[in-house]
Each structure stands twice: as structure tokens, then as C-alpha cells.
Amino acid sequence: MRTPALVTLVIYGWRFVVALVRTIWRHPVATSAPTALGFIWYQYGWPLAASLFGVVVLSLLFWVFIDRPSFARLVGWRLLAWWRLMSVYRRHWQSVMDVSGLGKRVHGRSYLPRLARVQCDGWADRITVHMLRGQAVKDWSDRIDNLAHGFGTTSCRVALIKGGRLLLIFPRRDPLASPIPALPVPDEPTIGPVEIGKQEDGQPLRLKVHGTHILIAGATGAGKGSFLWDTIRGLLPAMRAGLVEIWALDPKLMELSFGRALFQGRYAADPADCADLLDEAVSVMQKRAARFAGLQRSHVPTIEDPFVLVLVDEVAFLTAYQPDRQLRPRISAALATLTTQGRAVGVGVMAALQDPRKEVMNIRNLFPDKIALRLDESEQVDMVLGDGARDRGALADRISPVPELGAGVAYMRLETSPEPIRVRAAYVSDADIRAMVAQFGEAA
């Protein structure tokens, strides 16, 4: 049955009007500026229009030189978002959806997810998408490579905003490509989130250590020591004030031994000494729990009851690879006790390891906060960060093995946020550690 030409013209005319109104509503500046210039040109001639255009351009340039951040926030990123929307995403949307399998064809009719909004900032494009009815987040997370290459970026991440609505993040550049020098030691004692590096969006990376446990996994040379030493560095003033104690277990004798003078004698390298130190931490925890029972439910650090952070550099050597069959269950039991009962009374554990398999570290699920540096296999990403983390963009197996590019780069998944974030810890050199020991060794 043929559709009358008049009906076809009415339908296309209606679609044009709707698209025009939607464009004006979403991009009022981008549409009103050329419309106003065209009206002035038509009404008063091109010289006045050109003069006004020049004044506007000079004013914007002056604004850029005077206050670049406010210009970028109010004008620059909006213009870039409009340009990226028109030149990249809307232009290639249908072809990418069809090729990747996210667009559907039912009874001869095509259905496409709707591109709702594009936002830009200093490092990435953020695309809000309305999924088709019946689609799941996994349908999109399984196709992050298709989406990234389809829109000309190196990676893509998928996050759920609410039912039926997704956020796609396409990085345009990598703010974490260069190593970060050691951060200054804080002026005031603090046990709050410790600044240890930078997030991918340029914001400071602050790691919560009090009231949680942290598992750090990464291959050899991935930069696990950066997270350990940055944490120590951020807690030095609190250690000097008596509000924090760091107990160090260093079975490799290569990482934490360099600053053993900072640990007030709470340092162990021999497996038997490590077991004794863990048992002592369990004893401290249990005595506090007995005193706090019925009085308080959370720990507030004081000189009498400081926050105790147990650092374990290579925990797998003390558990899975320990040849002494009597020490192995003893150490595993102590770690399990600390990670299940310690944070409420101010005893935390930060453990680092290379191999995150369950048979190597069978209590990894007892660590609320997890950090994955460069890993050897894609399956290991979900072992560390939880099921589905890699599908949502935590590509820890693709971090560069070149130290200048990838050392200290990691994906972090916190207890308070299920979405993994990409971060880089600052590099604490041997000279920085010597300076820490010289300044805080005796006082700490």
C-alpha cells in the first residue's frame, strides 16, 4: 500500500521541526549566535556584522588570557562538546551501533540507542545514552573495544547512571602518562584520606586507610611500593604525634627495610617474627574490643589507642609460599582475624601481592578496598577488583610495562563506589625515603 505524498511530506516536515526545536533547546548559544549575526548582516549590512563578530572574538580571547579556568568551564568545554557531538558521535552513531550489534532490526524496522548528551572536560568525553528497552549493561560492557575504536579513542568505560541510562567515557588524552614526583609530607597530622597521587580526571587521589583494609595486586615492577611508601609518607606527622603506628612485615627484605627506622621497632622480615608481630596485632585488637564493648562502635585515634596499620609487602610469601607448615596456618588465621574484626577498633591491614589467585590469597574478599596495578592476565582483573570490573573498563592487564609509562598506574575499586577508577601513585625515590628517615626516624 503506497503512502500518499502529502502524508510523507507532513511526516518529514514534522520531524524537521522537532529536530530544529531540540537543537535550539540543547544548544542555545551555538544556534543563537550565528542567527543574530545573520540578522544583523541582513538588516544593517556586513560591516556592522563583521565588527560585532570581531569584538566578540577579541572579548573571548581576553577572557582566555585573564581567567582560563572559568572560560573553559562556561564556554570552552561546551563548544568542544558541541563540536565532538556533531563531528564524531552523531556522525558515526548509526554505523557504530549497527556494526557493534547494539542497534537492532525488528520486522524490517531499525532501532538505535538514543544519544542523549555529550559533555567534555580536560581529559575525556562523557556520553549519556538511553539504551533500547530490553538491553542490559553487559550488552554494552562486552563491546567496549568496538565502541572505543568506532569513535577513534583508545578505550571506553561503561557506568550505569540509572535504569535504562548509561554513561560512556571516552578518554581523549592520558593525564597519568608521566610519573608523579613524591608529594610533600603533610604539615598537620591526619589519619583521614591520605593524598598519595592523582586520579585520571586530574583530581588528587586520597586513599582511605583508617576504617578499612586494602589489598594491592600487581606484577613485578608494577609499582606496588609506591602505594606503600606514599601511605607511610602521608601518615608521618600523625606517627610523630602518636596517633598512628605502622607495623611493617617485609619478608622480601627489599622494600620496607629501607625505612625500618620509621616503624618504632615494629618491623619483621623473618617469617617467624612476622607471625609473632601479627599475633601481637591480634592481641591489641582483641584487648581494644573488650574495652570498647558497650561503649563505642567506631575507633577514634588517641595517643592511648592509636590507629595501627599493618603493612605486608608480599603477603603470598607468608601464606601460600611459606615452607613452614606450622607458620602458614598461623599467619593466615591472624590475617583473617584482623581483616574481619580489626577496622572497628582501629587496626587496619594493607597487603601487597603479585599473584591474586584464590589458592594464593584465599582471604582477598575480606579487603573492602582493592587496587589492581599491571597484571599479567585479563582474568586476574576480576579476581582483584570483583566480577565484571574489566568489562566496565578496568584494563589493568593493558597497563604499559615500561616503568616511565605504567609504574604506579592502577585501577582502584573502593567499598563506597563499585565503579573502578584509574589512578597513579606518586613515585617515592630512595632519596625521598632517606630524607623521611632523617627527619622522622628518631621522632617516629
Binding-site residues for ATP, in ranges, read: 218-225
* CA–CA separation, 361 and 365 (whole Å): 9
Q: Phi/psi zone of residue 124: left (φ > 0), alpha (ψ -120 to 50 degrees), beta?
A: beta
Please name the residue that has the C-alpha cell 585501577.
Answer: 411
Residues comprising the binding site?
Answer: 218-225
- Strands (DSSP E) contained in 43-162 are 104-106, 109-111, 114-120, 124-130, 157-162
For residues 215 and 57, what is the distance between their CA atoms, to the nearest angstrom?
52
Q: Are 274 and 338 a contacting pair, CB within 8 Å?
A: no
Handedness of CA 223, 312, 199, 259 (dihedral sign): negative
- Plot region of 216 (φ>0 → left; ψ -120 to 50 → alpha; else → beta): beta
> Which helix (H) or strand (E) segment is 404 a member of?
helix 403-406
In one-letter notation, the amino acid at residue 92 is H
Please, what is the angle between helix 77-84 and helix 28-44, to 10°?
A: 90
Sign of CA dihedral 293, 298, 303, 307: positive
Residues contacting residue 61 through CB under 8 Å, at least 6 positions apart? none
Rounded to the nearest 10°, the torsion over CA 40, 45, 49, 50 is 170
Q: Where are the alpha helices (DSSP H) in 241-307?
A: 271-292
End-to-end CA distance of the chain: 88
